[in-house]
Structure 1
Amino acid sequence: MSSVCLIDTSIFLNLLDVPNCNESKEKVTEDFKTFVEARCTFLLPMVTIVETGNHIAQNGDGNIRRTTAQRFVVAVKAAFSGDAPWQPVVFPDMKEILSWIEEFPDCAGRNKAPNKPEGTSFGDLSIIQEFDKACDRFHMSEVFIWSLDSDLQSYHQQPK
């Protein structure tokens, strides 16, 4: 089986060419082509959809926001209809989200890394949880989080 890639918000913003959030567009596009050629399976976590929508709504003038939001809608609808190179994950239910909420205070209180005096955000926690689910589901495949955030880049499982 090919590799399984969870798309982080930092990547989706560049793939959608969101103004002021697309500084790595060329590199991300190049990597995307490489992953497609390698027959990678792309998963779009719920948090990536939500956070990308937030960035779009808070960015630029109304015309830019609207135009960008229209591209976003096309990309997300295509994911749900099976017409995009990525597919949405099965969205978490209430019980699952409540378990994540229980973990959040510890994650927020612990520094991500010795040189990073910040905790893990709830958004990052949810994508890490999706990574863990994908590792269980696709244990015979390489699974990784594709992110520009070095903390999330460390989530990578080799096939068992």
Structure 2
Amino acid sequence: MTAVCLLDTSIFLEILNVPVKAQQHTKILEELAKRIQLKESLFLPMATILETGNHIGQNGDGGARRACAERFVTQVSKALEGGSPFKPISFLKAEEMVVWLRDFPDHATGGSGLGDLSIIHDWNRLCLQNRGRRVYIWSLDKHLASYDRPPEI
């Protein structure tokens, strides 16, 4: 069975080639092509969408921001419509936010934000739903990249 992959903001920034943030655009696109060829399930967490939008809106000149924002809107819209290799997940429900808020003080103490915590919760949920598949977070952040569970037999 193919793997289940959650995209972190660091990867989505590279895919979209966000000015100043993207340093490995070509390499990440090559890795993305491999994941698509392997038919991995590629999930785009809500936190990744929101954080990427924030990075785009706060960086570069107006023209660069607009061009990047248009690429972003196209990719996320395609994902929402089912016309992308990415499947959006984690449209927040009140019950989920209660759990995230309960866990946030301990998580923040370790130096991570609420977005990362929500992606970790997504990872945990996908691990439970996909016991026979590898489930991992694709990230340039070593902490998030450490979330990589092999398939259970």
Question: Structure 2, unaligned stretches of length 5 or more?
Answer: none
2:126 aligned with 1:134, yes or no?
Answer: yes
Question: Structure 1, unaligned stretches of length 5 or more?
Answer: 111-118
Q: TM-score, normalised by structure 1?
A: 0.92
Report the count of equivalent residues: 152
Tell me what 1:77 maps to. 77
Alignment map for 1:56-135 (pairs within 5 Å): 56-110=56-110, 119-135=111-127
- The one-letter amino acid of 1:136's match is L
Q: Aligned equivalents of 2:90 and 2:59: distance in 1?
A: 28
What's the CA shift string for 1:33-74, capped at 9, x where partnerless? 111121111000000000000000001111111111011000
1:105 Cα offset (Å): 0.6
SS in 2 for 1:77: helix
Q: Aligned equivalents of 1:120 and 1:104: distance in 2?
A: 9
1:155 Cα offset (Å): 0.2
Coordinate RMSD, CA, aligned: 1.0
Assess if the C-alpha contact under 8 Å between 2:90 and 2:122 holds in 1.
Answer: no
- The one-letter amino acid of 2:140's match is L
2:150 aligned with 1:158, yes or no?
Answer: yes
> Structure 1 stretches (4+) deviating beyond 6 angstroms?
none
- The one-letter amino acid of 1:62's match is G
Q: Aligned equivalents of 2:121 and 2:38: distance in 1?
A: 25
Tell me what 2:43 maps to. 43
What's the CA shift string for 1:7-35, capped at 9, x where partnerless? 00000000011111110112211211111
Q: Aligned equivalents of 2:34 and 2:84: distance in 1?
A: 16
- The one-letter amino acid of 1:131's match is W
SS in 1 for 2:84: coil
Tell me what 1:116 maps to. none
- The one-letter amino acid of 2:125's match is K
